[in-house]
Structure 1
Amino acid sequence: MYLFVIDHPYHYEAENLCRVFFPFDKVVTLRDPAEAGAPQARTVYTAIRDERYIVRVEDEDGETAREEDRIAEDEYGLMSLLFSALRAHTGKTPRWGMLTGIHPIKLLRQLTERYGAEEANRLFRERYFVSEEKAALAARTLKSQTPVTLDVRENDYSLYISVPFCPTRCAYCSFVSQSVEKTKKQIPEYHALLLREIEATAETAKALGLTLRSVYVGGGTPTTFSAEQLAMLIRTVRASFDLSKCAEFTVEAGRPDTIDRAKLEALLSGGVTRISINPQTLQDNVLENIGRRHTAQQTVEAFRLAREVGFTNINMDLIVGLPGDTFESFCDTIEKVLALDPENVTVHSLALKRSSRITQSGEINRAHADAALADRMMAYAEKRLTEHGFEPYYLYRQSRMAGNLENTGWAKPGFVCAYNIFTMDETETVLACGAGGVSKLKDPYSEDLTRIFNFKYSYEYISRYGEILERKEGIGRQYEQFRKRIH
C-alpha cells in the first residue's frame, strides 16, 4: 500500500496506525504523489492543506473513506482522522483504538498524574478510542504497579544481563538469539567477556553512587549456560555489586529442555529469587509446530523439579495465537498451568515478526487470520487468572500482534516482578550487559531517556568487545548532564 505523508511530521505514527488495520500490507511511505510507482491495491493519503487536516483511504475501486477537519491544537487531530477513516474503510474497531506505542500503561500513568484517574480514563476511551475492556485492564495494571513506581528514588537502577543463546530457535522468534547448535564454540569466550563487562558496569554504577534495585538475566535462554557457568555469573554479580537494596534476582530458565537439578541448585544457592519456566503452550502438536524440541510433560516435570529444589516464585509464559492452537486447546493449557500454581503467568500475543520462520513461510498469516479467536483466548486467560487471584501488573504491546492485542504479566499478591515494571514503564535506569543489551538511562528529573546499545550478535560482541567498554563510558557522561540540569 502507498501511504502519502504531505506537509506533516507524523509519518511514523501514520505508518503504525495503517499496520494496525492492514498487518499484512507492505507500507510504502512517500512525501510526493509524483514518486508513486506501479499502482497499489490500497492508498492512504494524509496531508495538511490550507490549515486543515485531510485524510483519504482508497482502494482499487476508488475513494472509500474521507475525513477532513481544521488543524487541532495538539498532535492527535490528524491521527484521529486517520483512525476514523481506516475504521470506516475496514469496518473494524481495534480494541486498543489508535494506540500503537509499546507502553500504553506509561501513557495512562502520565495522563493520570496530569488530570486524575477519572479524566485519564475518559481520555483513554474518547481521545484514543480504547475499548471499555482494554481501558479497564489498563487501569487495573496501573493500580498494581503504582506502589512499585512510587518507590523509585533518583539514583535507583536495575541490571539486565543478556545470554543470547537457545537450544533451538522457535519458529515465531525474532529476538537476537542463536541456536547452540550453531554457536556452541562461542559460548566460553562470550561468557568470559560477559563477566568482564559485568565488573566494568559495577564500577561505573559505584562511581555514580547508584543503588541497585533488581537484577534480571534474560535471553535467549540463560540456562543454555552450564551449571558451573551460571554459578560463576551469579558469583560475579554478587562480588561486583552492592545487593543490599536489591529485592529481586530473576533468571529466565525458560526452555524446560535446558533445565536440570544442578542448574536449579546453582541458581538457588546463588541467591536467585525468581525464575521463569516458559511452556508457551502445553499442547504437544503446537510445540512441534513452533519448533520446540520438548514435550508438555517435560515442562511439567521441570516445574515440579524447581519446586522440589526450593523455588517459591516461578513465572510461566504463554502465547495466544500459535499455529495449530484452538480455543479449546488454549483453554486446556490455561487450566494445566493454573493446576501447577505458579506465582506469575505472562500471557503474550503472537507477533508478526518479519525475520521469524513462520512469517517467512506464510504460516503466521493463518495464525493471525482470526482476530476474534485470539480475542476469545485472551479474554479466557484474563477471566481465569482473575478468578485464581492474579492481578495484571505490567503490560506492553508490539506491532503486528495477533488480534492487535497485548502482552500482560499477571502476579499473585506480593509476587510482582519490579524489573518488568521498571523497564516497561521506563521509570528508572536499566544498565544492560551482553549482546543485544540496551542500557536505558532515565533522567531522574524528567521523562527523558537516553539509550546506549551493545552490539546485537554474540560474534560482534566478541570481536568488537573493546567498543562495548568504550560505549559504557557514556553512562557517566550522561549522568553528568542529568545532574547539571538540577544543580
Structure 2
Amino acid sequence: MMEIICCNESYTYNAYHIMKAFYPAGNMVARVDEKASNYVEAVLPNGSRLAISREKELTKKELDRALYRKLKEITGRSLAWGVLTGVRPTKIAMKKLEEGMDKGAFVQWFQKENLASEEKTILAWEIANREKELLDRLDYENGYSLYVGIPFCPSVCSYCSFSSGALFDWKDSVEAYLDALCKELAYIGKVSVEKKLNTIYIGGGTPTTLTAGQLKRLLDCIDTYFSREHLLEYTVEAGRPDSITPEKLQVIAEHGISRISINPQTMQQKTLDLIGRKHTVSQIRDAYHTARSLGFDNINMDLIAGLPGETLADMEDTLSQIKELEPDSLTVHSLAIKRAAKMGRSDEKPSVGPDTKEMVDEARRVAKEMGLLPYYLYRQKNIAGNFENVGYAKVDKAGIYNILIMEEKQSIIAAGAGASTKIVLKNPVPVQGSKKKKETNLIRLENVKAIDAYIQRIDEMIERKGEWLWH
C-alpha cells in the first residue's frame, strides 16, 4: 500500500491521480497532515522516498509539475497528457479557441502548462476546432438535448460500471419501468414546449433489450411529447448485437432515427467470451448488414483497446474487420476499470498491456484510412495507459450529442434510472456548501440508480427537475 501524505486537502486529489497514472496497478491512499514539512511525500514501490519540500512556495499547478517531474525521473516514463487529471482536455482547448488564441500559441502554452506531449496537444486543438464548427449550429440559450436511459442488458459485461442490470433479472419490471419513464418524459416534454430540442440520445444499458413492441411504445411516447422542428440528431444505441432483431431495427427506422450505434468492442471471439458478451462475431456482422439493408446511413461502432488477453495483433485483426464493414463513425475507448465493475471487484482486474499505446495508434491510423476524422475526446479515471477515448467520424456524421456531453455548453435533460441531468444556467449561482463562496452555472440532477427505486420514486425524480428546469 502506497501512502501519499499532503500538507493541504486541496493537493490530495491531483497528487493521488498523478501518482496513480504512473503506478496504475499500485494500491494507494492519500491523507492530509497539515504539520508535514513537505507539500507531498510518499514511499514508492521500489522503496525510494518521494518528497516535495515546502521551502519554496508553490501554486497547485507548480506542485503538479514538480510532482510529475520527480515521478518521471524515478520511473523513466512520461505521460501523454502530462499533469492533466481531468476528463475533458478539449474543454481547455475550446476555451482558448474562443478567446482567440491561435494554434501555435496554444501548442506552446498547453505543453508548458501541462507537460503534455505535442501529439496530444495538437489532437486536443484539432478536435476543439471540429467541435466548435458543429456547436456553432446550436442555440445554447433556448436549445437543449434529451437523454433517455434504458438500464437493461442481455448480460452485464465484466468491465462495465454503468447503472444497468441483466434483463433476465428484471424482465418482470420492464413494463413498470416504461410506465415510470414515459411519465417522466411526458413531464419534461410539457415543461420544455417553448424550448428547441436539438438532439435525442437513447442509451443505457442496451435500449434494444426492449421487445419491438416495448421499443415502439417508448418511441411513440417521445413522438407524442417532443417536437422535431429543431432536431438535428436522433441516436439509439442498438449496442449489443445479441439484442438486435430485424423487427426492432424496423421499428427504429419507422420512427426516423438518424443515427444508431452497433458496438462490438472487439471482433475476437475469445475476448467476447471472456468479458461476458454472450454473442458471436457473426452476430455483429449480421446486425450491421441488416441495419444497412433497412436504410440506416449513420452507423457508429465502438471498440475497446486493452481488453484482457488481447495483443496488438488482435486489435489489428479487429480493425481490419471493422474497415471491411465501413461504419460511418468509430469510437475507440481505452479500457477503464472502475470499482463498480466486476473486474474492479475481483482478481480479474487486468494490468495495462504493453500493446495498449500501439493499439490506440493503430486505431487512429486505420480510422484515417477509412476517411474518419477525430471529432470528440474524453478521458476517464483508471483509464489504461493514461490514454483517452476518441470518436472518429466522416465529415457529416459526427455525433453532436457526444460533443455536448463533453463540452457542457447546452442543457441535457435526462430521464431514466441513473440518468444525470445537466442544466446550464445563464447566470451563475452559489455552490451549495462551498466555504469559499464559489459559483457555478452548471447544475447536476441525478436520478436514483436502482431500477426498483426509480419506479417507486418517479414522482420524486420529476419534482427534483421541477425545481430547476428552465427557471
- TM normalised by structure 1 equals 0.89
In the aligned structure 1, how far is the partner of 2:137 from the partner of 2:232? Answer: 12
In the aligned structure 2, how far is the partner of 1:346 from the partner of 1:195? Answer: 30
Instruction: Give the counterpart letter for 2:455 in structure 1.
Output: I
Measured on the aligned residues, the alpha-carbon RMSD in Å equals 1.9
Matched, 1:455 2:453: no
Using a 3 Å threshold, how does the CA distance of structure 1 residues 111 and 309 change in structure 2: closer, same or farther?
Answer: same
Report what 2:434 is aligned to.
none
Equivalent position SS for 1:398: coil
Of 160-169 and 351-360, deviating more is 351-360
Once the two structures are TM-superposed, the CA of residue 177 in structure 1 deviates from its matched residue by 0.6
Once the two structures are TM-superposed, the CA of residue 472 in structure 1 deviates from its matched residue by 1.5
Matched, 1:78 2:63: yes
Match for 2:284 among 281, 295, 299?
299
Equivalent position SS for 1:317: strand
Using a 3 Å threshold, how does the CA distance of structure 1 residues 150 and 69 change in structure 2: closer, same or farther?
Answer: farther
Work out whether residues 57 and 86 of structure 1, in 8 Å CA contact, stay in contact via their aligned partners in 2. Answer: no
Matched, 1:436 2:436: no
Of 356-365 and 246-255, deviating more is 356-365
Matched, 1:203 2:196: no
Cα-to-partner distance string for 1:236-293 (whole Å, 9 max, x where unaligned): 1111012100011100000000101110010010111110000000111011111111
Instruction: Give the counterpart letter for 1:133 in structure 2.
Output: E
Cα-to-partner distance string for 1:321-341 (whole Å, 9 max, x where unaligned): 111211111111111111101
Equivalent position SS for 1:443: strand
Equivalenced residue count is: 456
Match for 2:135 among 135, 138, 149?
149
Equivalent position SS for 1:475: coil
Work out whether residues 9 and 32 of structure 2, in 8 Å CA contact, stay in contact via their aligned partners in 1. Answer: no
Match for 2:370 among 376, 384, 388?
388
Using a 3 Å threshold, how does the CA distance of structure 1 residues 18 and 91 change in structure 2: closer, same or farther?
Answer: same
Matched, 1:398 2:366: no
Once the two structures are TM-superposed, the CA of residue 57 in structure 1 deviates from its matched residue by 4.1
Matched, 1:464 2:452: no
Once the two structures are TM-superposed, the CA of residue 132 in structure 1 deviates from its matched residue by 1.4
In the aligned structure 2, how far is the partner of 1:133 from the partner of 1:239? Answer: 47
Equivalent position SS for 1:3: strand
Report what 1:183 is aligned to.
170
In the aligned structure 2, how far is the partner of 1:87 from the partner of 1:56? Answer: 15
Q: Unmatched 5+ residue regions in structure 1?
A: 35-46, 481-487
Once the two structures are TM-superposed, the CA of residue 24 in structure 1 deviates from its matched residue by 2.5
Report what 1:334 is aligned to.
319
Match for 2:125 among 139, 142, 147?
139
Matched, 1:122 2:108: yes
In the aligned structure 2, how far is the partner of 1:191 from the partner of 1:285? Answer: 35
Q: Unmatched 5+ residue regions in structure 2?
A: 429-439
Once the two structures are TM-superposed, the CA of residue 111 in structure 1 deviates from its matched residue by 2.6
Work out whether residues 5 and 30 of structure 1, in 8 Å CA contact, stay in contact via their aligned partners in 2. Answer: yes
Match for 1:284 among 269, 277, 299?
269
Of 54-63 and 142-151, deviating more is 54-63
Match for 2:203 among 218, 236, 239?
218
Work out whether residues 5 and 40 of structure 2, in 8 Å CA contact, stay in contact via their aligned partners in 1. Answer: no
Work out whether residues 80 and 120 of structure 2, in 8 Å CA contact, stay in contact via their aligned partners in 1. Answer: yes
Q: Percent identity?
A: 36
In the aligned structure 2, how far is the partner of 1:81 from the partner of 1:265? Answer: 57
Work out whether residues 166 and 179 of structure 1, in 8 Å CA contact, stay in contact via their aligned partners in 2. Answer: yes
Instruction: Give the counterpart letter for 2:67 in structure 1.
Output: L
Of 420-429 and 351-360, deviating more is 351-360
Correspondence 1:14-53 to 2 at 5 A = 14-32=15-33
Once the two structures are TM-superposed, the CA of residue 203 in structure 1 deviates from its matched residue by 1.5
Matched, 1:165 2:166: no
Work out whether residues 3 and 42 of structure 2, in 8 Å CA contact, stay in contact via their aligned partners in 1. Answer: no
Work out whether residues 4 and 29 of structure 2, in 8 Å CA contact, stay in contact via their aligned partners in 1. Answer: yes
Once the two structures are TM-superposed, the CA of residue 9 in structure 1 deviates from its matched residue by 1.8
Equivalent position SS for 2:160: coil
Once the two structures are TM-superposed, the CA of residue 125 in structure 1 deviates from its matched residue by 1.2
Match for 1:412 among 371, 394, 404?
394
Equivalent position SS for 2:10: coil
In the aligned structure 2, how far is the partner of 1:69 from the partner of 1:202? Answer: 59
In the aligned structure 2, how far is the partner of 1:306 from the partner of 1:381? Answer: 24
Q: Which has the higher helix share?
A: 1
Match for 2:250 among 265, 272, 278?
265
Using a 3 Å threshold, how does the CA distance of structure 1 residues 247 and 62 change in structure 2: closer, same or farther?
Answer: closer
Equivalent position SS for 1:346: strand
Report what 2:93 is aligned to.
108
Equivalent position SS for 2:468: helix
Instruction: Give the counterpart letter for 1:106 in structure 2.
Output: K
Equivalent position SS for 2:234: strand
Equivalent position SS for 2:114: coil
Using a 3 Å threshold, how does the CA distance of structure 1 residues 80 and 375 change in structure 2: closer, same or farther?
Answer: same
Using a 3 Å threshold, how does the CA distance of structure 1 residues 294 and 272 change in structure 2: closer, same or farther?
Answer: same
Instruction: Give the counterpart letter for 2:288 in structure 1.
Output: F
Equivalent position SS for 2:203: strand
Once the two structures are TM-superposed, the CA of residue 62 in structure 1 deviates from its matched residue by 4.4
Once the two structures are TM-superposed, the CA of residue 398 in structure 1 deviates from its matched residue by 0.3
Work out whether residues 161 and 434 of structure 1, in 8 Å CA contact, stay in contact via their aligned partners in 2. Answer: yes
